[in-house]
Amino acid sequence: MIFAADLLPTLAGIAFWTAILAAGLALFVVTLVSVVRAPLDRRSRTRWILLVVLVPGVGIILWFTIGRKQHSAR
């Protein structure tokens, strides 16, 4: 028999991982929108989009540390 006390840690874990997934997805979408709106030439924009889509963790970090600085310096 399953008791409510047994379900609490499970539901908390589900809520935690759902929040983490939602935050990651939101960051992914914000990054793609930022890349698309940046004043980049077609080749650079394509490369950034591919990097963010194919290697999201690295691509997102690189875009917000290197990519935005490069295009705002132009």
Unique residue bearing structure tokens 């939602």: 22
How far apart CA 8 and CA 74 sit, in angstroms, is 53
Which pLDDT belongs to residue 72? 58
Q: Is residue 50 part of a domain?
A: yes
Q: Residue 5's pLDDT band (boundaries 50, 70, 90)?
A: low
Which pLDDT belongs to residue 1? 52
Per-chain mean pLDDT for the chain: 87
Which pLDDT belongs to residue 10? 81
| Model pLDDT for residues 32-67, shown as the tens digit of each residue | 999 999 999 999 999 999 999 999 999 999 999 998
If one counts the domains in the chain, the total is: 1
- In this prediction the pTM is 0.77
The pair of three-digit structure tokens given for residue 62, joined into one six-digit string: 């690189």
Q: Is residue 1 part of a domain?
A: no
Unique residue bearing structure tokens 């030439």: 41
Domain span at residue 46? 39-74
Q: Is residue 52 part of a domain?
A: yes
- Kindly provide the b/e burial profile for residues 47-67, where b requires at least 16 CB atoms within 10 angstroms of the residue's own CB: ebbebbeeebeebbebbeeeb
Q: Is residue 48 part of a domain?
A: yes
